[in-house]
Structure 1
Amino acid sequence: MTGRLRFDGWILGAGTTSGTRVVVGHWPRSPLGPLSDVMVQRPDEHRVLLAPSAAAAEFIAATYAFDEVRVLDVGVHRPDERTWTVSAGPLRLTVRTGRRPPLGWLLRAVPAPLARTPAWVGLLDRPARLVTGLRTTGSAGNGRTEWYGVQDLHAVTAADGSWDGEPLGGLAPVRPPVSFGFGSVPPRPSVVRVTTTVRVPSDDQGP
Structure 2
Amino acid sequence: MRVLTKEEFLMEKIFLFKKIVQDAVFIHPTDTIYGIGCNAESEEAVKKVREIKQRQDNPFSVIAPSKDWIMENCEVDEKAEEWIDKLPGAYTLILKLKNKDCIAESVNLGMGTLGVRIPEHWFGKVIEEFGKPIVTTSANVTGGNFMTSVDDIDSAIKLKLDFAVYEGEKKASPSEIIDLSKKGITRKKR
Q: TM-score, normalised by structure 2?
A: 0.27
Q: TM-score, normalised by structure 1?
A: 0.26
Name which structure has the greater RCO, CA cutoff 8 Å, separation 6+: 2
Higher share in helix:
2
Higher share in strand:
1
